[in-house]
Amino acid sequence: MAAHGPAEWLSSPLGRQLVAAEASLLKGLLDDVFGLELLQLGIWGAPRQLLAGSRTRRQTVIAENPLSEVDVMARLNALPIQSATVDAVLLPHTLEFDSEPQAVVREADRVLTGEGQLIVLGFHPVSLWGLRAAAAREGFPPGLQRMLSPRRVHDWLGLLGYEVSLQKHYLFSRPWDDGSDSARRILRRGLMNPLPAAAWIMRARKHVYRMTPIRLRFSRERRPVIAPLPEPTRRGHS
């Protein structure tokens, strides 16, 4: 039976292979992400499957239309979270399934602390998966609205003052594979595989620049325009 939505596709052999490979990729990436709180915005695979390698004290999964169990149900562009209170945010293909991806990025930026980290996973539009998505009326994977190139997301983050510290390409399997041989080709190209990578992962760090007031030099050396008048000399009187 053909998959008709994200949940059905993610439970297919190819969907399970992809999520498992991405969980393995994230396990190494999250090893040096520390702090108190990590947010995952959007559901991708089994609950908390992508967070197995997280070393933060808490992990919270938030989704707008949850496909499975989540910690908080909320709009991703209006999170019920105070500003500058989260150490890391994970967006696993979240931007591609949202109608307002830039608003989601801005909201993630709002809740991140200074020097907080943002991790984004996405599909590459210039790939076999991109061609399959363009040809499918319901999107591919089903429910996907648009694929975003890493350069476009990089530009968005640059405008917000982020420094991209890592960008990696993966997913070398074909979008019509049955999942039987895709595990070895998702993360590694292989010697005989000419296919371009169909997915990317990006990690960026938020920088907060503080304005330091500058004392102008002339303010320290300013002299009175009119010199003080000399005081009259007092002579002795009889």
Q: pTM of the full predicted structure?
A: 0.84
Q: Which residues of 194-219 are buried (b: 16+ CB within 10 A; e: fewer)?
A: eeebbbbbbbbbbeeeeeeeeeeeee
* Tens digit of each residue's pLDDT (9 = 90 or more) over 133-171: 999 888 899 999 999 999 999 999 999 999 999 999 999
Where the chain has pLDDT below 50, the residues are: 1-3, 218-219, 225, 238
Compute CA distances 94 → 22, 91, 119, 210, whole Å: 14, 5, 11, 31
6-211 has CATH 3.20.20.140 classification = no
Per-residue pLDDT tens over the stretch 128-142? 999 999 998 888 999
